[in-house]
Copies of this chain bind each other. A is one copy, B any other.
Amino acid sequence: MSVLALSGGVGGAKLVRGLSHQLPAESLSIIANTGDDGIHSGLLVCPDIDTLIYTLSGQSHPEQGWGLAGESWQVFDRLGELGGETWFRLGDKDIATHLFRAEKIQQGLSLTQVTRALCLAHNIAPNILPMCDELFQTKVITQDGRTLDFHEYFVKEQCGPRVESIAFIGNPSLSSDVEAAIMQTGALIICPSNPFLSIDPILQVPGLQSLITERIEKRLVVSPIINGQAIKGPTAKLMQELALPVTNESVAKKYQSIATHMIIDNQDAVDKNLLESMGLKVLVTNTLMQTLADKKQLASDVLGFLGVK
């Protein structure tokens, strides 16, 4: 049985990497968030797709949570000397990815086709699909009344501003490749990515969530919350600003129209009964992925719970 994962960047990519070790490549498809995509220094940058590609190919930077290991900075050092904008720093090898993408898009390829070409260029077999081919951007509306691009919020302002709400701007449509992936899959896995900033954009693509709930019986979410904290990134701070308790219950409510199964961490075993009373099948296990072994184990738990293997 093949599975379909919905993923944002770092946290999601960890589980996807684990899944890639537990499944034959042809049985794993990933729909990647592209709400963070945008033009930086004139280049279309697709952070979550690239994080997935770099993580699956074992080339991601081991600590910083984005970009490539062993990166150099010739271009941006020079750009800084020229007085160009450098708050969204791109490494030299990473720039090669963006130039490759730009070249192919200029030739008329869709983002889906370019992403496939990038996967092949990185020797990645699983099928990484952008959630849509159109630009469909996540905007963060702050409590002081500004509308920020995702990376203005996330990188330039370091998640500092208090968030009022989140909006998605664009006119996306369901791509034939995403539709085919949903039709062919036996189980859905929502990775432990930020529900509001990484998974919601995917689910906002018109027709995507309804097709998933119609066609895929088992739909599992791995909670990104452990013991009232997010492992990484702004999830907990954001939930507080949206007046949501930082709990698995909040995550379950966020996903109540899509999830049938939920995995929570051992530290939150106490939540199991409550979540089951909300109609979810619940598995309690270790969800903190620090090593490759952790990733493989969680992937194994996920697949076992779904009855995939």
Interface of A toward B, CB cutoff 8 Å:
39, 41-44, 72, 74-76, 78-79, 81-85, 92-93, 95-103, 105-106, 118, 121-122
CB distance from A87 to the nearest CB of B (A): 11
Kindly identify which residue among B78, B98, B106 contacts A39, using a CB–CB cutoff of 8 Å.
B106
Q: Are A79 and B96 in contact (CB under 8 A)?
A: yes
Distance from A226 Cβ to chain B, minimum over Cβ atoms (Å): 36
Q: Are B84 and A96 in contact (CB under 8 A)?
A: yes
| Interface pair A42/B103, CB less than 8 Å apart | yes
Assess whether B106 is in contact with A93, with CB atoms less than 8 Å apart: no
- Nearest CB of chain B from residue A106's CB, rounded to whole Å: 6
> Is B106 touching A79 in the complex (CB atoms < 8 A)?
no
Residue of B nearest to A77 (CB): B96
* Closest Cβ–Cβ distance, residue A77 to chain B (whole Å): 8
Q: Which of chain B's residues have a CB closer than 8 A to the CB of A100?
A: 41, 79, 82-84
Other-chain contact of A99, B42, B96, B106, B122 (Cβ < 8 Å): B42
Q: In the complex the two chains form, is A103's CB within 8 Å of B72's CB?
A: no
Contacts of A85 in B (CB 8 A): 103
6 tightest CB-CB pairs across the interface, nearest first? A42-B102, A74-B92, A78-B96, A41-B99, A79-B96, A84-B100
28 contacts between A and B (CB under 8 A): A39-B106, A41-B99, A41-B100, A41-B103, A42-B43, A42-B98, A42-B102, A42-B106, A43-B43, A43-B102, A72-B72, A72-B74, A74-B74, A74-B75, A75-B75, A75-B92, A75-B93, A75-B95, A76-B96, A79-B96, A81-B96, A82-B97, A82-B118, A82-B121, A83-B121, A84-B96, A84-B99, A95-B95
What B residues does A42 contact at CB under 8 A? 42-44, 98-99, 101-103, 105-106
Q: Which residues of B contact A99 (CB under 8 A)?
A: 41-43, 75, 79, 84
A82 to B103 Cα, complex, angstroms: 12
A83 to B97, CA, bound (A): 10
Complex CA gap A5/B198 in Å reads 54
User: Which residues from B are CB-within-8-Å of A74?
Assistant: 72, 74-75, 92-93
| Closest-CB distance, A242 to chain B (whole angstroms) | 32
Q: A42-B43, A83-B121, A121-B83 are in contact. Are A78 and B93 (CB under 8 A)?
A: yes
Within 8 Å CB of A106, what residues of B? 39, 42
Distance A190 CA – B144 CA, assembled complex (angstroms)? 57
With A42-B43, A43-B42, A83-B121 as given contacts, are A75 and B96 in contact (CB-CB < 8 Å)?
A: yes
Using A42-B43, A74-B72, A75-B75 as known contacts, say yes or no to A82 and B102 having CB atoms under 8 A apart. no
Say yes or no: A96-B82 contact (C-beta < 8 A), given A75-B75, A106-B42. yes
Chain B residues in 8 Å Cβ range of A102: 41-43
How far, in whole Å, are A75 and B105 apart by their CA atoms in the complex? 19
Q: In the complex, A101 Cα to B41 Cα: how many Å?
A: 8
Q: Whole-angstrom distance between the alpha carbons of A44 and B102 in the complex?
A: 11
